[in-house]
C-alpha cells in the first residue's frame, strides 16, 4: 500500500527516527533501544494481553515508517531509522518480569545481536529489502533474546523476582 498523504508520510518518518532520537550522533540504535525502556515498562503495566496487542499493532506501523523513510531518503536501512530497535526490544521483553536484571540482560543481549548480526540475523539483514527488511532482522534478534531470557527466567533466579501488586 502506497502512502500518498504528505502529512502521514511526514509523521511516519518521525516515527521511523523515534521522533529524532535516530539522529543521535553516537549509537543511534543504542539510544533508540534505551528510549524504548519506558515504553516497555508502560505497556507491561497494562498486562500481557495489552502488551502483545501493542506489539502486534505497532509492527505494521514500524514497517510502513521504515518503508516511507527509505523511499524518501533513497536507500536502505539508514542508521537514523530506529523504530526497528523499538520493535525488536519490545519483542525481546515480551512475557518477562520487569526487573532491572531482565531489562539489563534484554538490553545487552539485544544490542549485541543487533550489532554483531550473527546468522541468520545477518542473512535477513542482507537479503530482505524494503521496510520489512529494515524491521525483520531486529524482530528476529528480539525473538532470539526472548527465547534465551525465557529459558534463564524459568531455570534460574538471575532475572530477579517481579513483585505483582493487585488492587483490592
Average pLDDT of every residue of the chain? 92
Q: Please check the confidence at residue 23 and state whether its pLDDT lies above 90.
A: yes
pLDDT in tens, 125-168: 889 999 999 999 999 999 999 999 999 998 888 888 655 555 55
In terms of C-beta density within 10 A (0-12 exposed, 13-18 middle, 19 or more buried), how is residue 71 classed? middle
Alpha helix locations (H) across the chain? Answer: 6-16, 28-45, 48-73, 83-92, 100-116, 121-127, 130-155
Is residue 74 domain-resident?
yes
Tell me the CA distances in angstroms from 107 to 75, 145, 164, one per residue in order: 28, 9, 22
At 75, the pLDDT band (50, 70, 90 cuts) reads confident
Centre a 10 Å sphere on the Cβ of residue 149 and count the other Cβ atoms it contains: 24
Stronger pLDDT, 4 or 125, i.e. the higher one: 125
- Section 19-42 average pLDDT: 96
CB neighbour list of residue 1: distance below 8 Å, 6 or more residues apart: 64
Q: Grid cell 498486562 — which residue?
A: 47
Is residue 136 domain-resident?
yes
Is residue 165 domain-resident?
no
Stronger pLDDT, 57 or 162, i.e. the higher one: 57
- Section 33-51 average pLDDT: 95
Q: Report the alpha-carbon distance of residue 136 to residue 121 in Å, rounded.
A: 9
Is residue 22 domain-resident?
yes
- Residue 30 belongs to what domain range? 6-155
Is residue 168 domain-resident?
no
Domain total of the chain: 1
Amino acid at each position: 500500500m502506497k502512502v500518498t498523504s504528505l502529512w502521514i508520510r511526514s509523521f511516519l518518518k518521525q516515527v521511523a527516527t523515534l521522533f529524532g532520537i535516530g539522529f543521535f550522533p553516537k549509537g543511534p540504535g543504542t539510544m533508540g533501544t534505551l528510549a524504548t525502556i519506558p515504553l516497555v515498562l508502560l505497556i507491561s503495566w497494562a498486562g500481557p494481553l495489552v502488551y502483545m496487542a501493542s506489539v502486534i499493532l505497532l509492527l505494521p506501523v514500524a514497517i510502513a515508517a521504515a518503508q516511507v523513510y527509505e523511499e524518501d531518503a533513497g536507500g536502505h536501512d539508514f542508521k537514523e531509522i530506529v523504530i526497528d530497535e523499538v520493535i525488536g526490544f519490545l519483542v525481546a521483553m515480551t512475557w518477562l518480569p520487569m526487573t532491572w536484571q531482565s531489562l539489563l540482560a534484554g538490553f545487552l543481549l539485544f544490542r549485541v545481536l543487533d550489532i554483531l548480526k550473527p546468522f541468520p540475523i545477518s542473512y535477513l539483514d542482507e537479503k530482505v529489502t524494503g521496510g520489512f527488511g529494515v524491521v525483520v532482522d531486529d524482530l528476529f534478534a528480539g525473538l532470539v533474546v526472548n527465547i534465551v531470557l525465557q529459558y534463564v527466567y524459568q531455570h534460574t533466579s538471575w532475572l530477579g523476582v517481579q513483585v505483582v501488586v493487585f488492587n483490592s
